[in-house]
Amino acid sequence: KQEVTQIPAALSVPEGENLVLNCSFTDSAIYNLQWFRQDPGKGLTSLLLIQSSQREQTSGRLNASLDKSSGRSTLYIAASQPGDSATYLCAKYNNNDMRFGAGTRLTVKP
């Protein structure tokens, strides 16, 4: 059973668009939620970490929100650039257990 779901699985947008990636989780018990970026054949790069007591975190053009009651997190990317093309994964952490979503593969076309 997939505990962490990411929608859409793939997304292609023209450069400059604002976009939202979604992450939902079935178990509302959560200590923190983390968003990562993964380039092809590479490891993960942490983008943002939201503690359960927080509602959002921002870093540059990225903004991540967390709604524990609905079991959702979103990653907002403003003014997308071709260099943003990658797979974005969310991971839910609780009780010494980290569960990842399958990721959203983002392509930003110049």
Partner 1 sequence: KAGVTQTPRYLIKTRGQQVTLSCSPISGHRSVSWYQQTPGQGLQFLFEYFSETQRNKGNFPGRFSGRQFSNSRSEMNVSTLELGDSALYLCASSWNPFAGGTDTQYFGPGTRLTVL
**CA dist., res. 12 & res. 55, Å (int):** 27
Is residue 98 within 8 Å of residue 25, measured between CB atoms?
Answer: no
According to the binding rule CB under 8 A, does residue 31 interact with partner 1? yes
Q: Quote the CA–CA distance of 73 and 50 in Å, as a whole number.
A: 9
CB nearer to partner 1: pick between 42 and 61: 42
Q: Which stretch binds partner 1 (CB under 8 A): 9-17, 18-26, 55-63, 91-99?
A: 91-99
Where do contacts with partner 1 occur on this chain (CB under 8 A)? Answer: 31-32, 34, 36, 41-46, 49, 51, 89, 91, 93-94, 96-103
